Structure 1
Amino acid sequence: MSVFHENSGFRTFLRDEKGASLVELAMVLALFLLILFGLIDYGRYAFHYVTSERAVHLAARIAVVRPPACAGLPETNARGSYTGTEYSYGSDCKQTGITGLCSDYGTISCVGDTANPTVAEIWPRLDAVLPNGSTPQNVRFAYTFDEELGFLGGPAVPIVTVELQNVRFNFITPLGKLAELAMGTGTSSLEGGTDDPEPGIRFPSMSVSLPAEDLNHGNEG
């Protein structure tokens, strides 16, 4: 009789489904929260990406009509290595078969510093849309000589580039920990790792290049 009761109790235990829904919930909860928080944070990511692209375009448009953000850019196109007398001041820098009519100053670049008036004007427009934690040092300005722009003795007209670099996007939700839980891994790349120890993910670099218009030469306004 006791054996019968023991077997009956064991079969009852096997058929008992109390708490099954709780186990199932625990199994899917991490995945559900991962999807939910992913929608929230990657929605934020998309917002920052789109608005940052627009802001960089605006920053470049401002930079081409303002004094240089970097020191060392010449105000005028000086004579280069060309020693002939055929072309004088007022001649286009680019001449067929002639090199070095205007001095090539290469590329002059620097990171943003709000002590510079041009950077101080541009940075608030970028700061409003960049991910939290971004600084003016995440913005690089470059001024590149182009012989197809300008003339000998005239204002230096470089190609102006405004570039975002080394920007980090940080999650506001525990997305990395949930990814670890859902995938059963020890470390999520969303929270940094051996190759990239900083938290969050690296924001894509983006840049806009435009020919300078006047760099505020002759314009006191």
Structure 2
Amino acid sequence: MIRDFAKSEDGATMVEMAIVSTLLFTLVLGFVDFGYALYQWNAATKAVQLGARLASISDPVATALTGAGPTTTPGAPVVAAAYGPFVCKYTGSAGACSNAGAFNAANFSRIFRGDTANTNDNACPAAGTDQRVGMCHFFPGLHRDNVVITYSATGLGYQTRLGGPVPTITVSLQNLTFNFFFLGGLLGFGNITMPSMLSTVTGEDLKSTAP
């Protein structure tokens, strides 16, 4: 009887299925998690591209930018590093720009949320049919303190230009992570820090009325 029990293979398939199923579910849920991470990567990339475009045709967040360029030699080139850089971002509820560049919250909001006004700065309102969308519409998990807008002089434009200096504008992200749902619970995976996803463009017509 004991010899027969030892030789019996009844239930072996169930045990094998339990082992294989655990590995299979881990792989499938891992694919789902990494697929979601790829979606977050793509959404963040699109958000900074849009943000850079909006920043290039909107009133500058650093209001000191318009008068920052040198004016001693009309028509002469504005050399690199002639002003700034103005690095503008939120820290908690307060916005600020480096190098004494006064921070304009409304101009920042236009880049972050588009033309749709909202009293909650971290909320992403529904986009209007005839209004520009903002960065948050491309990446819904984005908060305003994740966005960094930099205006720098890289040798573009000339002194006493009517529209002001021509900055190079960089929009990047900070303090964002890839969120893992299944792998975090099953295997204890921690969230991975997302790179800055920066996008750089040349300032065009720095006015909110530009097309």
Same fold, TM exceeding 0.5?
yes
Q: 2:207 matched to 1:216? A: yes
| Matching of residues 139-218 of structure 1 within 5 Å | 139-147=147-155, 149-154=156-161, 155-172=164-181, 174-178=182-186, 180=187, 188=188, 190-191=189-190, 200-216=191-207
CA pair 105-20 structure 1, distance change in 2 beyond 3 A: same
Report sequence identity in percent. Answer: 29
Q: How many corresponding residue pairs?
A: 178
Q: Structure 2: 5+ residue runs without aligned partners?
A: 96-102, 114-133
Q: From 53, 64, 78, give the equivalent of 1:61.
A: 53
Native 8 Å contact 2:63 2:104 kept in 1: no
For residue 115 of structure 1, report the CA deviation from its aligned partner. Answer: 6.7
For residue 17 of structure 1, report the CA deviation from its aligned partner. Answer: 1.7
Name 1:89's counterpart in structure 2: 74
Runs of 4+ in 1 over 3 A off after TM superposition: 112-115
TM superposition score normalised by structure 2 = 0.72
User: Which whole-Å CA distance do the structure 2 matches of 1:16 and 1:131 have between them?
Assistant: 57
When Rg is computed on C-alpha atoms for both structures, the one with the higher figure is: 1
1:125-159 CA deviation, whole Å, 9 max, x = no partner? 32233363x31111101011123x11112211111
TM superposition score normalised by structure 1 = 0.69
Higher relative contact order (CA 8 A, sep 6+): 2
1:78-134 CA deviation, whole Å, 9 max, x = no partner? 246xxxxxxx3123335xxxxxxx9821311021559722321222332233363x3
Q: 2:149 matched to 1:137? A: no
CA pair 103-169 structure 1, distance change in 2 beyond 3 A: closer
Name 2:42's counterpart in structure 1: 50
User: Which whole-Å CA distance do the structure 2 matches of 1:69 and 1:220 have between them?
Assistant: 15
CA pair 220-171 structure 1, distance change in 2 beyond 3 A: closer
Native 8 Å contact 1:139 1:162 kept in 2: yes
Q: Structure 1: 5+ residue runs without aligned partners?
A: 1-8, 81-87, 95-101, 181-187, 192-199
Native 8 Å contact 1:92 1:151 kept in 2: yes
